[in-house]
Structure 1
Amino acid sequence: MNRKDISGVFIFFLLLSFSSYSSEIEKAKEILKKGKEENYEESLTQFDRGYILLKKRQFEIENSFSYIYYSANQIYLSSFAILDPIFLTLGEFGIENSRRHIFQYSIAVRYGLTDYLQAELNIPFVYRHERYSVVGTGAGESTADDYGIGDLSAALSVQPIKETRSRPAVIVSLAFKSKTGRSPFDLDDPKKDLPTGSGYYAVKGGVNLLKSIDPVVVFGGFAYSYNMPEKVGKVYTGPDPNNPDNTISARLDKFYPGDTMSFNVGFAYALSYNFSMNFQFSQDYTFTSRSKVNGRKSDVQNSTMNSAVLKIGTGWALSNRSSLNVSLSVGLTEDAPDYVLEFRLPYRF
């Protein structure tokens, strides 16, 4: 074999080797690209469980703990009044200074029925501590504590539209809230006993939109909650405002809670493949509630509520199965809590 043939064979093997090496590089690039996309998606979608669905037959359990703090001054009037919890005042006048601490632990169970359909069950446990005083009535400071199971809820979420370059993903949800918690209408003394639930059923439907704009995910949504009327049929008694030595009574036949409209918008930003930050503004507007007292239906005074909060959170992907999410929500309106601190730890199987 002459020198020219040897050179040709060498060049042939060199090109073959280079071709094979290039092929391996391309494969490695694809693997890294796929892993990068998965990690990127994982890091951004950990910010809020309401915006990503589980895959078919995928199972998830989420443990969450939240601390909610309220401080408010409520003016007493000689009528029914609604706060959280609902309470009845008959003939009392003054200003109530209240401090409310709510600790809530929840277990959420989720299951992917299909790749685009998810079922969820949420079980909350509530502990409440309240400290309040009334100015103008001569009463001193009082405290109350109570705990128990909250209102269980179940939800179905479906993604009818997938995200493309030009359109966002669309997720539609329908939820039902029970009244398993202790109802405010069943309390013997609202100043000593505290509710752990709302006391009525509710059905909530919503639409959420999500769009990825590397390295940011922008999201927003709208929801409407139909709060069902609740039959009460309970007689309440209290001092007569015209004659403190006498008492008067009123029968609460039925309560019609106002429906609630909800709106939220925000974005999440990936600082790395495993860590992200998110910012969200949300607002809930509850229409005026009504009550039927002694057979007469009327509006509940001061029952319209406007709660707006600003939420700042982080998502840390601990592994491909679990993550840690921490958020702080700050109230922007008088009806909103002063702040909410929340920890969530979901785990997928």
Structure 2
Amino acid sequence: MKRQLRELTERYESQRVATEQLEVRIRRQEALLAAYTNGNAQLAQADAPARGRFFRTADGAAGDAGAAGASGNAESTSPGSGGDTLKAPPPSRSAQAVYQEQAGGVFGQPRRWTFETGLTYTHYDSRQLLLNGFLALDTIFLGNINVNRIQADMLTLDLTTRYAISDRAQVDFNAPFLYRRSNFQSGGAGGAAGALSEATVTQSPRLGDVNMGFYYKLLAETKDNPDVVWNVRLKAPTGSNPYGVKIVTDSGNNNLQYPSKLPSGNGVWTLSSGFSFIKTVDPAILFANVAYYHNFKRSFGDISSTEGTVTPGSVKLGDVFQWGVGTAFALNERSSLSLGFTQAISQRSSLQPDGQSAQTIVGSNANAATFNVGLTFASSDRTTIIGNLGIGLTPDAPNFTIGLKIPYTF
């Protein structure tokens, strides 16, 4: 009888454990169903690991379901705990980096500092053929032929710091340092198109226009709606301005003209505001942004580019509207690839000498469109390496831009 009692006790204990395990599974499925119904894809995808697939975390950052699934179940229980504790899968490092780059901040990580070092190389190369004369007998050109070419290289070191005030708000400050080199070539001296001359102007590294910004997450992503982040930025004219810079005419070729020095800023205050939209569409992140830049009118002691002439007046740079779209794919837990398109359309600028009416600068409006390819690599929980290649699609855009950024979060 004692043996039978012991066997019955063991059988009862085994059934009790099985019942508790079944209850844990039922609670887990109910929690997942509720999470999915409420639009929280983070828990709903915890049981569907797929390498390189993005998901949403509770703090609004993007994650990689493949990284979470690689470690097993998203739920952990301990004996005697009742099994009612659910743990969300950890977000992918690369997905977090992509989200922070597009949103412009470390949202979901309040009271944390980020220091970012960025280095950008930009190259311009433009050619222009100028004909000053007329056609004789519809076939013979009489006059001067001027062939111009401008090659410009710019290296920018950006030092940026960000602070997350809360899980929805952050501020940042950016200080750029610029090195510039421009080469000017021209032909057509004396009417000979093959006679070329050149001049090179170099600017040593100096401070550009510093700027600061504020970002606020208006809406967090749900099942149907994207994250919406609003930003406002103010740029101060701390760099050297281009107004009053004299144009020099080469002594050996009067067709060759070039500036006496190169500026490191645009000389005016700029206030901008915009919105970023980020949506997880498994297995990718879609993002878009719009922004408007208003340049304030400012007076200068000299706005003339003619040597020996000083003309005080004011400058009003044209406002700029910018928009962009793109997508990012997680390649694995640490790296991701992004593709995007950006277009900036600027209005015409004007100069107003003191005591005279404003004069619109012909050709000062621009349309700069760029195709961007980016690669993000999360080297650690705190450090990310972000590379970007921008290819100019219009004459007003740089031929290409290569950038490298390394943000570090404390």
Q: TM-score if structure 1 supplies the norm length?
A: 0.84
1:42 counterpart = 2:101: no
Which of 184, 187, 204 is residue 135 of structure 1 equivalent to?
187
| AA aligned opposite 1:222 | V
Partner of 1:151: 209
Bigger CA radius of gyration: 2
Q: Is the 8 A contact 2:303 2:314 kept in 1?
A: no
Which of 287, 293, 296 does residue 347 from structure 2 map onto? 287
Question: Which secondary structure does the structure 1 equivalent of 2:216 belong to?
Answer: strand
Deviation at 1:58, TM superposition (A): 1.1
Residue in 2 that maps onto 1:306: 367
Number of equivalent positions: 327
Counterpart CA distance in 2 for 1:94 and 1:117 is 55
1:133 alignment partner AA: Q
Instruction: State the shift of 1:30 in Å.
Output: 2.4
Corresponding position of 2:304: 236
* Greater RCO, CA 8 A, separation 6+: 1
Give the Å deviation of 1:306.
0.2
One-letter identity of the residue aligned with 1:193: K
Q: Deviations over 1:322-348 (max 9, x none)?
A: 111101000000000000000010010
Secondary structure of 1:14's match?
Answer: helix
Alignment of 1:220-235 (within 5 A): 220-234=288-302
Could you tell me which of 217, 221, 226 is aligned with 1:168?
226
Counterpart position of 1:9: 9
Counterpart-to-counterpart distance in 1, 2:179 and 2:402? 15
Aligned to 1:191: 259
Closer, same or farther in 2 for the Cα pair 1:49/1:258, shift >3 Å?
same
Corresponding residue of 2:74: 29
Normalized per residue, the structure richer in strand is 1
- Within the candidate set 178, 186, 189, 1:126 is matched to 178
* Unaligned segments of structure 1, at least 5 residues: 79-91, 239-246
Quick check: 1:307–1:333 contact (8 Å CA) kept in 2?
yes
Pairing 1:203–2:261 present:
no
How far the C-alpha of 1:54 sits from its partner, in A, is 5.7
8 Å contact from structure 2 (residues 105, 164) kept in 1: no
- Residue 215 of structure 1: CA displacement? 2.2
Are 1:53 and 2:107 an aligned pair? Answer: yes
Deviations 1:197-240 (A, max 9, x none): 111110000011111112211110111000111212316364xx
Distance in 2, Cα, partners of 1:338 & 1:235: 29
Among 156, 160, 169, which residue is 1:104 paired with?
Answer: 156
Residue 192 (structure 1) shift:
3.2
- Structure 2 residue aligned with 1:338: 399
- Find the aligned partners of 2:177 and 2:13 in 1 and give their Cα distance: 70
Structure 2: runs of 5 or more not aligned: 29-71, 77-85, 133-143, 191-195, 248-257
Contact 1:43–1:272 (Cα < 8 Å) also in 2: no
Cα 1:98/1:252, change in 2 over 3 Å:
farther
Contact 1:51 1:208 in 2 (8 A): no
SS in 2 for 1:234: coil
Q: Deviations over 1:8-53 (max 9, x none)?
A: 22223334555677869x7953269733445474254255462653
Given that 2:268 and 2:298 are in contact with CA atoms closer than 8 Å, whether structure 1 keeps it comes out as yes
How far apart, CA to CA, are the structure 2 residues paired with 1:161 and 1:77?
56
Matches of 1:180 and 1:229 in 2, distance apart? 16
CA RMSD for the aligned pairs? 3.0
Instruction: State the percentage of identical aligned residues.
Output: 24
* Residue identity opposite 1:42 in structure 2: Q
- Measure, in 2, the Cα distance between the counterparts of 1:203 and 1:113: 22
Whole-Å Cα distance in 2 between the matches of residues 267 and 195 of structure 1?
35
* Match in the other structure for 1:321: 382
Following the alignment from structure 1 to structure 2, what is the Cα–Cα distance between the partners of residues 195 and 202?
17
Is the 1:46–1:323 Cα contact (8 Å) retained in structure 2? no
Partner of 1:256: 316
Q: CA deviation at 1:55?
A: 2.6
TM-score (norm 2): 0.72
Q: Distance in 2 between matches of 1:280 and 1:33?
A: 34
For the residue of structure 2 that corresponds to 1:13, the secondary structure is helix
- Correspondence for 1:270: 330
2:299 match: secondary structure: strand
